[in-house]
Each structure stands twice: as C-alpha cells, then as structure tokens.
A and B are shown apart, each in its own frame.
Chain A
C-alpha cells in the first residue's frame, strides 16, 4: 500500500512508461512534473530501461510542441498540465490526434480564468478540449488516478488515439489517500510492446521517409477527417479490454461507465470526477433507507460510450440528473448532459429505448465548490418532480436566475458516521500540514485503517492559514468533501489567536476532543477562551486539552516549530494508536527526515516529543461560560456597504454563503479592501525614534507591506493628536517646504508583518547605544494599543501637497501616499516595494496590466486587494488578463488610452471656438512632466468640464466623459521573470519593438515563484531550482541587453536594497520616457532559500558580486551627445561565491554536486566580470548618428 496524493500517483505511471516528458509549471499539475524531474535527477531508470528526459519548456504551448515532435520522432512522450496550460496545448492536440499518435496527457483539471482566475478544480479546461480528438478518461479518486493512468497508456498504444487522462485539481490531485500500488512488473506485462514497436516504426526517419503534416484542399480534407472514424469507433472496446486485462492483474475492476445503487432504481444521477465519491455515499445512504436511487459513474468520456451507458442504466429508471462540473454560458445544457441526452435520444430513435426517461442537467462544484452527500441527495430528491428542474445548480444560492436546489446541510452519509474525522487549524509556516501528512502515513502504516488527508489554504502568502482535514476508518474513504459541521471527533487549534477568528468548533461533533495550543497555564486556559467558544464546548460536551507548544518548542530549542509537538499531542489524546507506538513512529519519521546529519536536531525533536506528553493538560470544563472575551467583528470601524456585506463575509471564511446576486457579474471589485483585513501578524513592530531620525525615507521604501509611512503636515494639523503622536520639523529641504512643516513616521500596527527590513535599512545609529536605530522593533503587545490610536490619527491627517515634494529624493518620494498597501505577500517580499514605489509616484494616473504570478495573487486574490485610492478617489486601475499575454494586454490598454486621449483632443478642437481659447491651448499643449504640471492639467480639466456643462452640444457631453484622458496616463505592465523571460517573451519583445509609451516592470525572482520555484530563463547559472536539481547549467538570459539592442527602449536594472536612489531615478526616468521602458528589478524571494530578513543584504551582495550590475540605458542621452548607458554600480568587488554561499539555492549544489558547483561558480565569477566589462565598454560608446564628414576618406575606395 502507498499513502500518496493524486499527482504522485499519475506521475509514477507516466514516468515508468515514457521516455520524454515535456513540462511547464501550472497549478495544480506542477507536482507531477516535479516528481518526474526528481526521479530523473536521481537517475532512476523506468520500465523502458531509460531515464526519461524531462524537458521544461517556455510555455504549455511549447511543451505540447515538444511532445508532438518527440512523438513524431518515435519516442513515447507524455505531459502534465491544467487550465490555461491545457488551452495553450489545444492546437497541438488537434495535430497529435489528427496524426493518430499514441500519448497520454495527464490533467489536474482546473477552472479557466473568466470573470476571475481560479486555481481550483472543475472540468472547464478539459471540456474545452473535447473537440480535439483526444480520448478522455476521468479518474475519481487517488487509486483511480494510478490505475487509469496505466489504462490510458495501455489503450492509447493500441488504439492510436491520444488520451487525456484527467482528475479533479486539488480535490484529487492533492488529496492523500492509502492506495494499492501497481507493481512495475505488472505495468510491464500490461503495456503492449508490439504496439510500442509499431509506434516507433511510424516515426519520422530519413531511412524510410514520408510526408506528414501536409496542407490539404477542399478536395480531400473532409474525407481525411472522416478516415479516422474506425479508430474512434474501436477505442471504447479497446479501453474496455484494457480494463479487463488490468482487472485480471490487479483485481480492481472498472467499466467505461459503472452503475452503483438500487437494482431497480427510478432516479439516477450521472457524473464524473471526484464528485462521484460524495454521490456514492449519498446513494448508499438513501438505498439503505429503501430509496430506489442510483449513480452512474462515467469513466470514458470521449469517445462517448453511449452503448455502455445504456447497458449500465437500470431499466427501471424514470428520471435522470446529469451533473456537469463546468459552465457553458448561453448553452441549454452542459456537455455531459448533452451527451447523455443525445445517447438516450439516439437509443429511442433506433428503437432500443421505447420510453425516454426525464432528463435534466445541472452544474455543481465549480472551482472546487463543495459537493457533499447532502447536495447529491438533494439532486436525487429533485428527480421526484414530474418536471425535474433544468438547468439547475447545486451548492450555491442562486437568487438571480433561481437555478439552485436547496439541500439539507445536516444530511450525513452513513459512511461518514462510520469513520473518524479530524480538523487542524494551523499557520502555513508552523508545519501543521507536513505534520498531518506524516500522521496520515503513520496511521496508514500502523493500522488497517484507510486514511485520507486534504488540505485547505487561504490566499495569503504571509501568515497563510491552513486547515487540514483528516479521515480514517475501516472502509475505503470516498468522502470527497471537507469535514462537515458537527462531524469532527477531533479539532485542533495550533495558533492561539485563531480562536477569535475562526468558528472552528462548528466542525466538532458531540463529545469531540479539542486540542488547543495556548501560552496560558492550565488553570487560566478556560478564562482565556471567547465566550462563544466556551458555550460550544459546554453544549457539545467537548473534552478540552491544552498544551503550550510554543513554550515547549522554545525550551527544547525547536524555535517556533511546533509541528511534532502538536502531532504528539494529537496521537496522545486521540487514541488512534497507543501512545508508545505513536511516539516511536513520530520519532522514526523525525529520524528519517534528519538522519545522522542532525544528531542535535534529532535530540531536540525527541526532547520536544517527550515534553509534549508531559505538558499536555486536560482542562476541566465548568457548567457555565464565564468569559468576558467575545468574538470581535470581522471588520472594525466604518466600511462601505459592499465591504461590510460581502468582503467581510469572505474574510471571515464564510465565502460560500453570499448568494449569486452579491457577486459582481463581470469580475469588477472595489479597491482599498486590504485595509479592512487587520491580520495582526507581527510579534514585533517598528517604533520610530524622532530624536534620531534624519527623515531619509529609506524605511517606507523598504517596507514590503506599506505598513510604515511618513507624512508631512503643517504642525497645526496635529492639534488634538494622541499624546504619544510625536512629530518634528522636517530636517533639510526647508527651502522648498512651507515653514513649520512637520513630519511623522508611523507604523500600521495590525498590518505590519514584523519582517524588520525597515530597521535593517535604517542608516542611523544611536552613538550612545549602537544597538539602537532611528526605528526599532518593539514587542507588539507593549505598543499595539498606542500605535493603533496613532495610526488612526496619522490617517486622518491630510496628504501633503504632491507639488511641494521633491520626488527625486527618497525623503520627498516616500512622503507620497502609497496606493498599494497591506498585501498578502510574503514576510519580507522582495517584489512589493517596487510596485508600491510605482504607485506612490504615478498611482493616481496609472493603469496596470499584471501578468499572472505572485504579483497577481497578492495584487488581486480575493477577498481583498492592496490597490487603493487617494483622497480624491484616484488610484491604479488594475487587471490581470493572463500569464502569457500581459505585454500585449498592456499595449492594448495603452492604445485605448491613446485613442481616448486623441478623441478628447479632437473634440476639444471641435469645440474650441466656444471655449476659453487660453484654456483650450493650455489643455492641448500641456507638457505634464511633473506633479505640478499634472495638477495644473487636472485643474484645467475641471474648468473644462464646468464650461462644457453649459454647452448644449452633444459633443460637449461626449467631451465631458472623455476629458480626464487629457491628463497623462501612465501604463504599467507588471509581471515576473516567468512571464517576461519565458512565456510572455514573444509579446514582450513585440511591445518593446512597438515604440509605444509603456512602462514594463519585471520583478525578477529568477524562478517561477508563485508555482513553487521552477527554473526560468532568468535562473542564474549554478542555482538549484525545480527542474534544475543539478544546478542550472546555462547562464541567465540577459534581458536588458536584448532590450537595449532595440536602441529606442529605456532599460534599467535596479536593486533597491543595494542602491535605493538609483531605483527611484530609474522609475522616474522610465515613466518620463515617451517610448517603451523596461525596468528589471532584483527581487529576493523565499525560493532562493534565504531568510528574507536579509533581503537587503542579498541585494547588496548580488550587486557587489557582479551578479546584478545596476545601470540605466536612456536613449534620450544619445541626443545630448552622451553614451545612452550609464552604469550605477562598481565592478565586482567580492567573489561570486561570497554572494552565492549565502543562498541555499546555490549552496545546496556544493553538497549534492560538488564538482559541478565548483565549475559553475568559476564560470559565474568569470561571467560576472566579463558582463561588467562589456557594459563598461558599452557605456563608453558615443552615438550621434551624424553622417561622416566629407573629409573622411572613402573606406570603400580601393
């Protein structure tokens, strides 16, 4: 038996049976490629006797092309993908199928970005490919993923029809379950070697050449399309035979479709995918109650096995509900429904079926929406009606189209009652998930129980909350839904502060056990609980246990790692295993992790495990609640109605509750909502020392979350400030500023994540006490109340007049209001300071096209967004189109803005004779170079609008609408290196070549950060990343040099932690340049294996080592007779290794591949010097473009 997840199950078979694996990272399919890469990196040969070649491509389109080529070259090739990735593969899928090529594509099916992106599971992606000619086989469980991966591989080789094998993203791809392994020898026997030989014989070869991929004309194309019909007709039969052969070897039987339920069922539901699990539990429960209901599981979806479906349906069926996990807007039913309806109609037409059952179709489970046995029961119940609803939805409340069925949230399946459910609330970083994965494996190994684990994550990167759902019991577990309310026998809260945020005891059943990690001694635990929690504990007769896990971790040298402590406590009180066995197993797991490498670590863990047993306390529960603490409202203070009604519900984790009418239909959401989500993550926050501070502005620049601000104001404005609200006259710059201008630096205490970068960048030290700076981290509990009051007052102060600030200095620029605040980015994120800076400088006239990636997730992942508005209501207009098209999307925005602007200018000219001629002239000729210019233009536009209001001309009305476009707009194209260097490079290149005025900000983390650190073309030589386990063997692409080659592109390479003023200058230069600008920004990332409290140090080291030279290439300098390239950093001054050794991504290679590491470091060192020399020489070049003087001898003369 194996305890693994769906992705690993698919990857195991794919790896064993293929030679070429072309991949590209995409959630939730990435782990399949990562498994394959890891096995290949370890040199594991497969059944074919080879180590598969894993090739990472620049996009899924590229991966599909490479797969097509490998197949045509005679190799056995496979791939893994999902969602947008699958859409990018469609053109090649038609080709591969059209050429009757055997291959299997494994898909962790996922939603498609429509009104919004979603990484979660449904069938929208696979349904978009059903015309390609791929056979489609659907797995509903982890066991089936492994089994169907092989059956698909067996069948494709025989049928010559390519297969798309899919299973539900997250629900199946990420569910851990105990399954039976298919031994390699069984795989070997089941794969038809003759079919492989035939595939190889069809390969393109100059030794027996053919033409394939011709261009056909009206005369033969159609016939050609029809010529494949026999292959498709034979495919269901082949799959059936493969399933039978599979059963003979493994004992596990499958059908093309399978019926489950009452033998004389009258009501039947049909569906495919993981929803089958919940439906099966519902059907079993209802059949046990005597209800004539059943379930038809569809396994093979294409070619659609209509006959098998008719054979499987009980003759007694009166009504059928077909459930689709997809949405086809505008259709009168979704695809599976239509296929079933068509099959029945055809059977009726052919006379096989006399009387047609009533058939209806419905949608469920989009984007991993819960689908429970209660919902399945509601669907079966709806079939009692004489006219069953169609189309219906289940799982939401549709108060707009009234499609939704009501369901009984209290329905519990019999299977659910026979198993044990547990839920654990933890922080992403506290190891709760990995501990639970280990627990599942321990239970799976040490008992006969079946086990299941599923993990829920929120959308934050810093302070992410995880909920682990564990189930175990004697029977196979088909519960493909979260642990339901009143079901959990065990609830654990690994973070004390979650108690007031999440109503976790709603999950607990009567008599459940609740384990709480709390710093309070046992006698004070009860009083520390909110009243609502106390009441639930009393009402449900919950057994309460407490443990001070952080205390134990501290005392045993475990730092803040509480995972094994909480895990031990779980086993000690849950009684699943006897405590001795559990402790032995946990210790064995620890030993497996650290082995002999970490004797001290082992001892520490052992001590923590032992201590957790000694410090676990049963808390006596009084008869009555007595707490004065109550659950605080989700949003404190005033908020707009939408935020109170919708956003607050989402923040509270109750996002399933809002009805359809509450959700904007076109994906349009308000800005400024992150400010309502007070997460209070920091243990220490910075406090300003006004006496030491020189007002340099570095701390607000470095803050990744815009949680530390500076503001200037007339001293008088601070009348009535809280006593602790210190403010002082601004140092320096007094000439430009009005007299008596004061300044205050202020932290937002509930939005700071405590990363400490502000303190790190502070250049001022107290001479009396060198430990002390002008800003100092202070334990939050000492200052929270005070600083909340100060923050509130700080916000109430008016923003300073932008015209009076010298934005070319950090002091001035950092006084500008950031319009990007409190994002969910990682603690110490290296990207967000750049975005924040851009919004400070240009946010009130900014349009942002944001490529998919980290920046689109912390930028626009609900429930909130960090983008916000200024007091006038202006702010960045933000949209994320796709990953691959961001440059093009941004260019489209630019074009539209230009058109709107031109239109406004045209109207203005048309109406000029009826307006103040000075106003018209100024409006048309305004240069809008700086804040003062922009301000004046805005004032002119306001006057214009007033003047237009008095004109009865329809053109005047039109111009009033368009007048704001007379103010310069700043278009920004933002994304990571995965976008700019790889998937979006073609578009980026085209936009650079367009000459249009766009500003491109590349947040270069040198890997695909959002999907887990896969190699991109920005990954440096010798760095270890996913798909470069042996170190990246080639140099990082020099994107800057490529852009400079155009000559008319502004290019800057920046690293704010190394030279902040250069970064500021580059942003100002880029924006002012009236052509394409490219800023490549060095962004340290957790994927580098560094502690991001060292973010700034890492940037400095990268610059000093020559890894990241700083420069600005400004084409405008050519006109001034200067070299366009200006280098802003010194030649490499430290060895490359002095930088690389500080980052695990490099350092680990010297352990795993010491020789290669040494070689790479030498090359990198030489390359850094060479690159700098090259730039230095380019910086000497003078270009004036003037023709050579007549005196110059004609070089072409003999």
Chain B
C-alpha cells in the first residue's frame, strides 16, 4: 500500500506529521514518533518573545548589573558564554537531524517584522528541511484594518523568503474574512504550504479571584471539522501544500481530512494524551481503512471528498446551516 505523500516539496513516507509540541523537545520522544511511523516532524516553536525576552532579561540582569555600589559591582555571576534560547533550539535541530531519518521542520512563532527573522537562516544552516512560521497574532485593537492584519503575514513571509531557501509553511488562524484569499496571498508570497488552523490560547476568568487565567483547553474531535471544511474548499484551488491541524484525534479524523484533501495531517493533542504510540494506531487505521475501501495509494483518497469532487454542488449552499443546527450531524457534501 502506498502512503507516500508530497508536502512542501518533500516526499514523506506517509501523511502523519506531529505538529509543534513538547514531544519534539526530547530526542527520545522524537525517536519514538519516528518509530511509530511519523512521516515528518514539526519541532516545538521558537518564540520570538522567548528569544527577545531572554535577551532583554539577560541584558538587564546579567550583562548590565551596574548599580554603582562601591562594595558590589554586580550580584549574579556573569556567564557570558551560556547558550541562548536560540542556541539551544539550533542545537536541537542539529540533534534531531542527526538522529532521525524523517524530515525535520523547524517552527518559528512571532508577530513582528524584526531582526528575529534572521534566526531562520540559522535554522536552515542547522539542517532544518523546512520551516513553519506561526504568526500568532490577535488583532486586538478595533482600528486595525483587515488589510493591515493580512499584510503583516505577507510582509513577514516576504522577509522570511529573502532569508532562506528551504520551503516555508505558514500556519494560519481561522480568523480571516476570506480564508481562501489569504491562502492565495501566502502562496503568491512564496509559501510552500499552509497549515489550517492554528488554535489560540483563550483567556478565562476565575470568578472567585476576579482574575484572568490563561489556560489551554485541549482540542477535541469536533475541532477538526473546522479544518476539514477549509481543506475541502481549497483543495485543487490552490497550488501550495495543505496541512490539516487542530483536533485530529483518531484514525477516523485523519481519514476524513485526507478525503477532504489534506496533503498531511498534523497530530498533537492525541499524541500528548496517549503517547507517541497513538500515531501507529492512527496509521494502522488508515491502512486498514484503505484496504477495506480497496484503495491502493493515498493519492486515490486525497481530495476525494473535497468541494471540487463532491457531485452535489447545491449542497454547499448556506441553507444547510439550518440543517446542521437541526440535526447536530453533518450531511454529505456540506462544506460551506
């Protein structure tokens, strides 16, 4: 059975790609993912804020401890030569490349068009096969226009493209007025692929302390329907790779997203909950399902249920909205 998948110009042995998560922080768990059959691995993110916050903190508290006290020139021992957040990340890229055979995709997470984009070149030099850029941006002020928000992504991508030659994957949030248009813009600006969708941490309110709490609610299976719709709608309408991410918990979910047209399926929460072995279960399910359905190659599966492929085009109309609410179930061919 042929599960070979093309993604960002890379050839993967199968379409299951663990997305950015702590599992890539240790070589052991990364190897376990590879052993479980992962087609590639996206590393945990290098956050712009983490790099810059570390820089600032170290400057403030280690490099410049000037107080002007006659008895104390400084307080903390100054270790000029310890590895920075970036150094540690680069070391880890190299270590993963050395110990894994599957492609390793580095991940940058940031929002400003700043010097940190230069880190991308370091990541490329360290051996990353591709780079994922996660623009984790919330347009929090009411006077910021849609175009400004979109342009932020385009500008970042442009600059990143100038820095590196390896493929770039853009991880996008679902909060765009026209997702399809946005994906097109990414493609035109040089993205080799997009991942749909990023999930934002949602603040919560503690009603006892009257304080805000920051918590991450794990995704659930229903979440993957959001990606499924947009993957299906964009399949064959864009040229770049499409990765599906967010809420893919089971083999069944994975199959659905492949049917919708995803080049790869990203896994995160389910691996964190059940361990790297979960990937093997999902892979096995896909193969069993393909066997059951008499598919020989994944290419036969991919996009089979995309918007282009679904016969009943009238079913894409908004009227189905009512139907969904009514039945709490999704009818065949309902994408829009």
Using CB atoms and an 8 Å cutoff, list the residues of chain A in contact with chain B.
27-28, 30-31, 34, 37-38, 41, 119, 170, 426-434, 457-459, 461, 464-466, 561, 563, 593-601, 603, 826, 857, 1007, 1009-1013, 1024-1026, 1029, 1085-1087, 1089-1091, 1144-1145, 1147-1148, 1151-1152, 1154
Contacts and interface: CB of A to CB of B under 8 A. Distances in A.
B125 to A, nearest CB: 12
A428 B55 contact: no
A119 B70 CA distance: 9
A760 to B, nearest CB: 15
Contacts of A596: 84, 86-87
Interface in B52-109: 52, 54-55, 57-64, 66-77, 79-80, 82-84, 86-88
B142 to A, nearest CB: 18
Given A600-B116, A1024-B77, 6 more contacts: A428-B68, A597-B86, A1013-B75, A1144-B57, A1151-B82, A1151-B84
Given A464-B67, A1086-B67, A1148-B82, A597 B72 contact: no
B68 A465 contact: yes
Q: Among A428, A432, A598, find the residue whose CB has the most chain B CB atoms closer than 10 A.
A: A598
B84 A601 contact: no
Given A1087-B75, A1148-B76, A464 B64 contact: no
Contact of B62 (A461, A601, A1144): A1144
Given A461-B69, A1089-B62, A1151 B57 contact: no
Contacts of B74: 1012-1013
Contacts of A1026: 75-77
A603 B82 CA distance: 21
Given A597-B84, A1010-B71, A1145 B66 contact: no
A38 B71 contact: no
B114 interface: yes
Contacts of B87: 596-597
A16 B139 CA distance: 59
Interface string B274-291: 000000000000000000
Contacts of A1145: 76
Contacts of B82: 1148, 1151-1152
Given A597-B55, A600-B55, A457 B114 contact: no
Contact of B68 (A464, A593, A599, A1011): A464
B95 to A, nearest CB: 14
Given A600-B52, A1012-B74, A427 B68 contact: yes
Contact of A1147 (B57, B75, B77, B80): B57
A42 B62 CA distance: 17
B35 interface: no
B118 interface: yes
Which 5 A-B residue pairings sit nearest by Cβ, starting from the closest?
A: A428-B68, A1012-B72, A464-B68, A1013-B75, A457-B70
Nearest to B90: A596
Contacts of A1024: 76-77
Nearest to B59: A601
B140 interface: no
Contacts of B68: 426-429, 433, 457-458, 464-466
B70 A459 contact: yes
A1089 B80 contact: no
Contacts of B69: 428, 457, 461, 464, 1012
B71 A1089 contact: no
17 contacts: A27-B71, A433-B68, A434-B64, A461-B67, A464-B67, A464-B68, A464-B69, A596-B84, A597-B55, A598-B59, A1007-B75, A1011-B72, A1012-B75, A1013-B72, A1089-B57, A1089-B61, A1148-B62
B77 A27 contact: no
Contacts of A603: 115
A599 B122 CA distance: 12
A1011 B54 CA distance: 27
A966 B86 CA distance: 68
Give the one of A28, A594, A600 with max B CB within 10 A: A600
A1144 B114 contact: no
Given A594-B59, A1025-B76, A1087-B76, A434 B66 contact: yes
A1029 B59 contact: no
Contacts of B58: 597-598, 1144, 1148
A560 B64 CA distance: 12
A431 B59 contact: no
Nearest to B76: A1089
A38 to B, nearest CB: 6
A1144 B114 CA distance: 25
A433 B66 contact: yes
A317 B79 CA distance: 55
Nearest to A857: B71
A31 B59 CA distance: 21
Interface residues of B, number: 36
Contacts of B86: 596-597
Interface string B108-125: 000000111011000000
B305 to A, nearest CB: 45
A1009 B65 CA distance: 13
Contacts of A427: 68
Contacts of B62: 1089, 1144, 1148
Contact of A1152 (B52, B59, B79): B79
B208 to A, nearest CB: 12
Given A603-B115, A1012-B71, A431 B64 contact: yes
A27 B73 CA distance: 11
Contacts of A1151: 54, 79, 82-84, 88
Contacts of B76: 1013, 1024-1026, 1087, 1089, 1144-1145, 1148
B118 to A, nearest CB: 6
With most chain B CB atoms within 10 A of its CB, the pick from A431, A1009, A1089 is A1089
A341 to B, nearest CB: 36
Contacts of B70: 27, 119, 170, 457, 459
A37 B76 CA distance: 12
Contacts of A459: 70
Nearest to B56: A601
Contacts of A27: 70-71
A143 B80 CA distance: 27
Contacts of B72: 1009-1013
Contacts of B59: 594, 598, 601
B210 to A, nearest CB: 11
Identify the interface centre among B59, B71, B118: most chain A CB within 10 Å of its CB: B71
A209 to B, nearest CB: 41
A1011 B114 contact: no
A464 B67 CA distance: 7
A210 to B, nearest CB: 41
B80 A593 contact: yes
Contacts of A597: 54-55, 58, 84, 86-87
Nearest to B57: A1144
A30 B74 CA distance: 11
Contacts of A431: 64, 66
A1011 B84 contact: no
B57 A428 contact: no
A583 to B, nearest CB: 20
Contact of B67 (A30, A826, A1011): A826
A73 B82 CA distance: 36
Contacts of A1007: 75
A1029 B75 CA distance: 11
B7 to A, nearest CB: 31
Nearest to A1029: B77
A595 B59 CA distance: 12
Nearest to A31: B73
B60 to A, nearest CB: 8
A1154 B54 CA distance: 15
A1087 B61 CA distance: 9
Contact of A598 (B55, B71, B77, B88): B55
A603 B74 CA distance: 25
A96 to B, nearest CB: 28
